[in-house]
Amino acid sequence: MSYLEESLAPGEVIVARFHLHWVAKGRLILWIILIPLIVGIFGTIYELLRLRSIELGVTNHRVIRKTGIVGRETEEIRLSAIETVDLHQSVWGRIFGFGDVGVTGRGEASLMLTRVADPVGVKRAIETAYAANIEHGAAGPTK
């Protein structure tokens, strides 16, 4: 079970999952091509495990970034605390379809989703979840 599924609060559902663009696998390609065989195998395995352990997503309550192979490090921002969602995309990112999406919350809270595929779609999914959260919160609890 993934961290996103494992960490859901009661009533919380995953709205979208995001994936790294193939450009993010550059170090993996370097390990395969440029480094000698023995070191390259260990480096390749490590890089493959590192990339597979990254989880990015948005639920109906928060935006989540999880990293770590054995240990776990998470960064989360509640949708209700989001102030801005920024898109950073270079020329190469525009050509190949990858970029960074920065989520800024209240205070000093920030979360950067780096080298994601379809960054415009990621930004749209976060903003849609935020809008749904605001509408749901404005309606108040129903009994």
**0.85 exceeded by the pTM?**
no
Distance, in Å, from the CA atom of 124 to the CA atom of 126, rounded to the nearest integer, reads 6
Beta strands in 2-130 (DSSP E): 14-18, 55-59, 62-67, 73-78, 82-88, 98-105, 110-117
Domain 13-139 = CATH 2.30.29.30 = yes
Distance, in Å, from the CA atom of 24 to the CA atom of 57, rounded to the nearest integer, reads 17
- Sign (positive/negative) of CA torsion 27, 33, 39, 45? positive
The domain spans of the chain are 13-139
Reading the chain (143 residues) residue by residue, the pLDDT tens digits are 888 888 888 898 999 998 888 888 777 777 777 666 666 678 788 888 999 999 999 999 999 999 998 899 999 999 999 999 999 999 999 999 999 999 999 888 899 999 999 999 999 999 999 999 888 775 555 44
Q: Taking the chain, what is the end-to-end CA distance rounded to the nearest angstrom?
A: 33
